[in-house]
């Protein structure tokens, strides 16, 4: 299977990519700033940014499945707008490309910070309501998740 991945050089991606290669998948990786995985067999590198629709289109076209891991994490504000551009607009580009190219499976990696942490002693999964005390990062992940769910 040909799997397209955003955020492949981040924490989750750098652990997931070797596992998918071991399983025999071919990968297309959208790489923003890294040389990681450039010499791997069965890996096609797309140099680009999720905030650019054309870069995402190049990644998604010809893929069987997309795993969207790319995100900008912060505990501060979003003064320059990069958190919103990456987490919300980047997700919008991924969703729109998946629709455009007929991708049947998209895995969107959200964040536990998008969800209400209370009650603390019950399972926390995607059925939990969204956080009411959201930071800029949390709010961006909530907005991104809503984009994905609306597209479904």
5 close to 27: Cβ distance less than 8 angstroms? yes
Query: What is the mean pLDDT of the segment spanning 97-102?
Result: 98
Q: Model-level pTM greater than 0.85?
A: yes
Query: What is the mean pLDDT of the segment spanning 48-62?
Result: 98
Single out the residue of 98, 114, 116 nearest to residue 106, CA to CA: 98
Question: Mean pLDDT score of the chain, rounded to an integer?
Answer: 94
Reported as a pLDDT band with limits 50, 70 and 90, residue 86 is very high
Q: What is the pLDDT of residue 76?
A: 86
44 close to 58: Cβ distance less than 8 angstroms? no
Q: What H or E segment, with its residue span, contains residue 53?
A: helix 53-60
């Amino acid at each position: 299977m040909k799997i397209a991945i955003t955020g492949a050089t981040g924490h989750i991606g750098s652990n997931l990519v070797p596992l998918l290669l071991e399983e025999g998948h071919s990968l297309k990786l959208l790489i923003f700033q890294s040389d990681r995985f450039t010499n791997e067999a069965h890996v096609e590198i797309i140099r680009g940014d999720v905030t650019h629709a054309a870069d995402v289109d190049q990644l998604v076209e010809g893929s069987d499945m997309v795993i969207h891991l790319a995100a900008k994490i912060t505990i501060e504000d979003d003064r320059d707008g990069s958190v919103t551009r990456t987490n919300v607009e980047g997700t919008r580009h991924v969703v729109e490309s998946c629709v455009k190219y007929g991708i049947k499976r998209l895995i969107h990696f959200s964040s536990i910070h998008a969800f209400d942490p209370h009650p603390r002693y019950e399972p926390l999964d995607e059925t939990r309501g969204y956080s009411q005390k959201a930071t800029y990062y949390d709010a961006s992940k909530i907005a991104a998740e809503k984009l994905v769910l609306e597209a479904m």
